[in-house]
Chain A
Amino acid sequence: MKIGLFIPCYINAVYPNVGIACYELLKSFGYDVEYPLDQTCCGQPMANGGYEQDSRKLAERFEDLFSDYEYVVGPSASCVAFVRENYSRLLNHECKTEKSLYDITEFLYDIVKPESFPTPFPHKVSVHNSCHGVRELGLSAASELTVPYFNKIRSLLERVPEITVFEPTRIDECCGFGGLYSVEEPEISACMGRDKIGDHMHTGAEFITGADSSCLMHMQGVIDREKLPIQTIHFLEILTGQKI
């Protein structure tokens, strides 16, 4: 079975390691993984900023690149959620990729179901439950709903030897990134970032980890500016035992 690998633009440019981790994990479970070249962006930044028509052509190309794969897997909850929630509406027809597309978290947790990961990670980590991961993809139980607790990211991380996993007190409060929100309301955005990092640090964790590099990028920006004693790492980098 062939999997089409979806690498969002900013992971391509800033966090290629996350893409490589995603690819290597899928390979390690025996999947045949293809990376259709000439991928760029899913269009979410424009759409959330109020210009969703600017992402129509990107949606068309995405559909062209990926519609033949049984599964399309990508390492970014927010981008995956954007495609799934909006593409059919944007293109005025049913998109095949809306059904075949998975965030890597879902794919691992719901389909691959690995019992463990080989490389130990002898560190304390705090899980960042990103808004779109929680409330659009259902990667964890949303704190607003009265549903039984579950957390797919945490559950996967706990299959890594020697790791200690925490979650912050405000378990799924927004970190304040929000795409263009981060530049349209920079003070509140940065304030939310500082508050969120404080909440993560309060757990005693050495790393903030999660399935959305965009939130991690925003928080890392605050961490670097404030010189805070914590760092961000995508959870796939932990699962694959990439050097930190």
Chain B
Amino acid sequence: MSRTSHSRAAKAFQEDRNNAVWHDETLWMVRQKRDKLSHNIPEWEDLRHTARDIKLYSTSHLPELIEEFEKNAKANGCYVHFAKDAKEYREIIENILKEHGAKKLVKSKSMLSEECELNEHLINHGIDVIETDLGERILQLMDAKPSHIVLPAIHIKRERVGKLFEEKLGTEENNYDPTYLTHQARKALRQDFLNADAGMTGANFAIAETGEVVVCTNEGNADMGMSCQNINITAFGIDKLVPSRESVGVFTRLLARSATGQPITTYTSHFGRPHEGGEQHFILVDNGRSEILGMEQHRKTLNCIRCGACMNTCPVYRRSGGYSYSYFIPGPIGINLGMLKDPRKFSGNVSGCTLCFSCSYVCPVMVDLGEQIYVWRQKLHDLGVANQEKKTMSDGMKFIMEKPKLFNSALKMAPMANHAPRFLLYNGLNKWGQDRELPRFANESFNSWWKRTHKNNK
């Protein structure tokens, strides 16, 4: 069977068996931590429903919320910009930095900046960009991309980090102690925080009623970047808007528990005003989001709070790794977001799902992830990207199953396959037989048994 991009990459990931086992177990551990905490909250399911309702309210009242946010942010002395796409987003940031002659930007983790390819753009325009989230910094030094949205470097073992730091930060040889390595990264980053010209962060939530944003980190790097610099930029998708501080309380209870199995992130910071003499810029980015709002079957993807729980629970993601997906966001939510971004380009991910629906059940904001993947599968044919052999198999099944007489004679013939020579059954064409024995047909089907034992019945 011709392979999808995901299937090929998944196969390759499995070739390093030990690493694949380690990847699966590491992320399963996170899922278990999440279970332990969520099961301790009796009102967890109510929280999920409330969170979903707030999100659905917010995304269906975006114009009002955006207007309210803008009014309040401006009243707080902040600048508010709007970017309709990635290009505008990049240019707004570039212009702010150029206006102030900024040469170095310290940045806390933002998947939006990955989505809009900000770093490459700024670096090409002579601006030094430093990622300050430890995982992101490791990846930046390796010139690699995140393989998970919350645990971006989860696929990298500490020995590799030690080697990398030896080379890039001049740390001790063969010292892979996580505490040591973290301290070294911290020491180096401290210099970047002190010497940068501007600080930037994404946002977990943007609150309309107060015109402020909320950023959750475990390392305090967003706070460092935003506090040490006078020029602050916060950019976020319009799907991050929520009505009130009170509603944020619902999400913060769900977010860290779902993401990493922590009761709350170490830092939940609200940024709403510029420093004295400084500037706070907010950039509200559409980049395709309002289009998703118009798609009834897929609208709920905008509920996503980017916790990554769907990745940790996905049995396919855990065994195929983040890079097996061709879209920059992997896992169940990534399959869906990729299809929304460019269905032809990213259709190779749609095979990476057994439709087990664990993602839909784990999702704290009740995005129907598995159900949406099912819907995308139905569209592949019309998009011209369906697997031809799968279509042939489906056609064959339809042909037989629609004709009970044919089906019944097939049932009678089928046991002959049990005696077919092995090379006929097990060869390159039979993907089932690659790692599994074929089921054996019964000598007497249920139909035949029924007819034999119920001769006088119909």
Contact = CB atoms under 8 A, between A and B. Distances in A.
Interface of A: 7, 9-17, 19-20, 34-35, 37-41, 43, 45-55, 57-58, 61, 131-132, 135-136, 142-147, 170, 172-174, 176-193, 195, 217-218, 220-222, 224-225
Interface of B: 1, 4, 6-7, 10-11, 14, 20, 24, 28, 35, 38-39, 41-42, 44-45, 313, 315-316, 319-320, 350-358, 360-362, 374, 377-378, 380-381, 386-387, 390-391, 393-395, 397-398, 400-402, 404, 407-408, 411, 414, 431-432, 434-442, 444-447, 449-451, 454, 457-458
A185 B316 contact: yes
A181 B353 contact: yes
Contacts of B390: 49-51, 180, 184
27 contacts: A7-B446, A11-B446, A12-B445, A13-B442, A17-B442, A35-B450, A37-B404, A38-B404, A40-B400, A41-B401, A45-B397, A48-B355, A48-B374, A48-B377, A49-B390, A54-B397, A57-B402, A132-B357, A135-B358, A135-B361, A177-B354, A181-B354, A181-B355, A184-B390, A187-B11, A187-B434, A187-B435
B375 to A, nearest CB: 10
**Closest 10 pairs between A and B when the two form their complex, measured CB to CB:** A178-B354, A221-B436, A50-B377, A190-B435, A38-B404, A224-B437, A174-B356, A131-B356, A144-B361, A16-B446
> What is the interface of chain A mostly: helix, strand, loop, or mixed?
helix
B374 to A, nearest CB: 7
A173 B315 contact: yes
A180 B4 CA distance: 13
Contacts of A185: 4, 6-7, 10-11, 316, 351-352
A141 B432 CA distance: 31
Given A14-B442, A54-B397, A37 B377 contact: no
A146 B42 contact: yes
A51 B401 contact: no
Contacts of A45: 394, 397
Contacts of A35: 450, 454
Nearest to B17: A191
Given A48-B355, A182-B432, A40 B28 contact: no
Contacts of B35: 143-144
Nearest to A189: B354
B11 to A, nearest CB: 4
Contacts of A14: 439-442
A220 B439 contact: yes
Nearest to B20: A191
Contact of B354 (A15, A20, A38, A131): A131
B114 to A, nearest CB: 25
B431 A183 contact: yes
A224 B356 CA distance: 24
A192 B11 contact: no
Contact of B394 (A19, A54, A136, A186): A54
B320 A188 contact: yes
A84 to B, nearest CB: 14
Contact of A40 (B313, B401, B441): B401
B356 A135 contact: yes
Contacts of A222: 435-436
A51 B394 contact: yes
Contacts of A51: 378, 381, 390-391, 394, 398
A221 B432 contact: yes
B358 A131 contact: yes
Nearest to B38: A146
A146 B35 CA distance: 8
Contacts of A55: 398
A58 B402 contact: yes
Given A50-B350, A185-B11, 5 more contacts: A16-B444, A41-B401, A144-B35, A187-B7, A190-B435
A193 B436 contact: yes
Nearest to B390: A49
B183 to A, nearest CB: 36
Contacts of B435: 186-187, 190, 193, 222, 225
Contact of A184 (B7, B381, B441, B454): B7
A136 B434 CA distance: 30
Given A13-B441, A50-B377, A178-B355, A146 B446 contact: no
Contacts of A54: 394-395, 397-398
Nearest to B380: A50
Contacts of B315: 173-174, 176, 192
Nearest to B28: A170
A57 B320 CA distance: 36
A39 to B, nearest CB: 8
A144 B313 contact: yes
A179 B444 CA distance: 24
> Which of B355, B381, B438 has most A Cβ within 10 Å?
B355
Given A13-B445, A16-B446, A50 B398 contact: no
Contacts of B11: 185, 187-188
A170 B24 CA distance: 12
Nearest to B47: A146
Contact of B436 (A61, A181, A190): A190
A172 B354 CA distance: 13
Nearest to A190: B435
A178 B451 CA distance: 32
A191 B319 contact: yes
Given A48-B355, A48-B374, A184-B1, A16 B14 contact: no
A58 B354 contact: no
Nearest to A65: B404
